[in-house]
Amino acid sequence: MTAALTFYGGWIPAFADAVQEYTAKSVLALNLARYSEWPPEVFKDNGSSINLCVLGDDVVQQAFALIDNKQIGDKTLSVRDIKDDKHLEHCQLLYVSEDVADSSRWFEESQKQHILTIGEAEGFLAKGGMVYLELTDARINLHVNVNATQKAGLQISARVLKLATIFNP
């Protein structure tokens, strides 16, 4: 009985911290969607929706579900769970959690399709990711690979870039 209490006693706060962290990251992703611009052709088949595709475990999926159906200008944010790169053509944003094994394979395809990539793994930007969310001392720091966003034909607002550390490969 003591072992069970110790296990659950340590697990519940860690789970709560993870939910809180991913909730904050989901709100940052929502704001990135609000302050980014895509080429007009991105929305020709998907005019009323901005799709945020999420690669991550259940905790990540649950936190991002909280921002589903939020308004972004004249569009609605739609959060989608995705398992493979065959469904990237439906995404305007792609969130890649730290537990995704090989994230680099997603970047080449995402740049061709004008997808804003957001991730949390160390080295994310060096692999071709666009926005890295770094958790340090209970604070999330924003890092942006402007070269990658420009290569994908995306533009992040100067207001956001003022708050970020710019990554130069």
Q: Over the stretch 78-129, which tens digit does the pLDDT of each residue have?
A: 999 987 666 788 899 999 988 766 666 677 777 778 999 999 988 889 988 9
Reply yes or no on whether the pLDDT at 38 is more than 70.
yes
Q: What is the pTM of this model?
A: 0.86
Q: Are 21 and 135 in contact (CB under 8 A)?
A: yes
Report the helix count and the strand count for the chain, using DSSP H and E: 5, 10
Instruction: Give the tokens for residue 23.
Output: 């909730």
Beta bridge partners of 75: 72
Q: In the chain, what are the domain boundaries?
A: 2-166
Whether domain 2-166 has CATH 3.20.20: the reply is no
Residue-wise pLDDT tens digits, 125-158: 998 899 999 998 888 999 999 999 999 999 999 9
Gap between the Cα atoms of 152 and 105, Å rounded: 15
